[in-house]
Amino acid sequence: MGWGFAGPFVAVFGLVFLAPIGYALYLSLFQDRLIGGTSFVGLDNYGKALTDPRFWEGLTRVGLFLLVQVPVMLGIALFAALAIDSGRLYGKTFFRVAIFLPYAVPAVVASLIWGFMYGTQFGLVGNINDAFGVTLPNPLSPSLVLASIGNIVTWEFVGYNMLIFYSALKVVPRSLYEAAAIDGAGEWRVVTAIKLPAIRSALVIATIFSIIGSFQLFNEPSILQKLAPNAITSDFTPNVYTYSLSFSGQQHNYAATVAIVMGVLTAIIAYAVQLRGMRKG
């Protein structure tokens, strides 16, 4: 009877998750040449991917993105969650709802709003330049565009992570705070000695999701590409690269290989973070 209830989920899951993974593995073992058609090439595609400078360029870029954006975003989210949970804010419900709000905004709309605001034509950057007679660096220039994307992603997900932390903080037994107060522990001490250890698993989970998200970076660069065609190349991130290989270049076999390599890398790093995060306790 259990299968009767779980069956529909499992069947669709097989179709949209397991079958594509199997198909991708199959595709990655072949090559489609103009002359000679499709032929089995073993692991050649993997060798090609691992030595492909365009793949490495994108991977390095998302690595850098990950090292800077994820700590900044999680730091802000943690601060907001602790501030709301401390009960020392005026209007804490408003804070909670307003900070979470951007999560409901589609990546397309978020990228368009920020992209326009970054613009010098009718954006805020243009306004500031006109008002003060200065020339601010263009956020959509090749050297700054990654940071500008980081800002968009931070904006989109800071509230979501805040909510994860806040939900975890809410179930910390209040009696612990009482005991700490009796012992004369200050607020900062309560945060470091009680609250942070208590929500460690939420911190680990949020970190893992942010890492997976960073490795998958696609929507924001894909949309901003129209606003900054020179700054965002077709190999900007591994996913943008996979997309252009597959849909502009028709190199489906190689695209599947790059996607698998990225998937394996992501899983390894997510797993390592989980092991490390859990061991510390």
Partner 1 sequence: MTTSLPTAAPGSAEPAGRTPAASTRAASGTTTSKRRERRLPHTPLNPRPSIPLTLVAGLVLVYTLLPLAWLVVNATKDQNGLLDSFGLWFADDTHFWDNIGRTLTYDDGVFVRWLLNTLLYVTAGAGGATVLAVLGGYALATYDFPGRRAVFAVVLGAVAVPGTALAVPTFLMFSNMGLTNTPWAVIIPSLISPFGLYLMWVFAAEAVPTELLEAARIDGSGELRTFFTIALPLLMPGTVTVLLFSMVATWNNYFLPLIMIKDPDWYPLTLGLNAWNAQAQTAGGQAVFDLIITGSLLTIVPIVAVFLLLQRYWQSGLAAGSVKE
Question: What is the footprint of partner 1 within residues 187-216 (CB under 8 A)?
Answer: 198-199, 201-202, 205-206, 209-210, 212-216
Residue with tokens 């989970």: 205
CB 168 within 8 A of CB 198: yes
Subset of residues 120 to 149 that bind partner 1, contact rule: CB under 8 A = 121-124, 126-127, 131
- Which tokens go with 86? 């401390």
- Alpha carbon dihedral 273, 269, 11, 23, in 10-degree steps, equals -170
Closest CA to 140 of 154, 126, 160, 158: 126
| Cα–Cα distances in angstroms (integers) from residue 247 to residues 51, 221, 242, 251, 255, in the given order | 22, 16, 8, 8, 9
Q: How many chain residues touch partner 1 (CB under 8 A)?
A: 115
**Token pair for residue 77?**
């989210």
Which residues share a beta bridge with 40?
30
Q: Residue 144 or 185: which CB sits closer to partner 1?
A: 185
- The SS3 assignment for 175 reads helix
Selected binder of partner 1 within 218, 234, 273, 277 (CB under 8 A): 218
Out of 47, 71, 106, 249, the only residue in the binding site for partner 1 (CB under 8 A) is 106
- Residue 127 CB, shortest distance to partner 1, in Å, is 5
Residue 46 lies near partner 1 (rule: CB under 8 A): no
Among 78, 84, 140, 145, binds partner 1 (CB under 8 A): 84
- By rule CB under 8 A, what string of x and - marks binding of each residue 152-191 to partner 1? -x-xxxxx---xxx-xx-xx-xx--xx-xx----------
State how far the alpha carbon of 105 is from the alpha carbons of 99, 160, 167, 226, 237, in Å. Answer: 12, 12, 21, 20, 23
Our CB check for partner 1 shows the closer of 135 and 201 to be 201
With binding defined as CB under 8 A, does residue 259 bind partner 1?
A: yes
147, 267, 272, 275: which one binds partner 1 (CB under 8 A): 267
Does 107 interact with partner 1 (rule: CB under 8 A)? yes
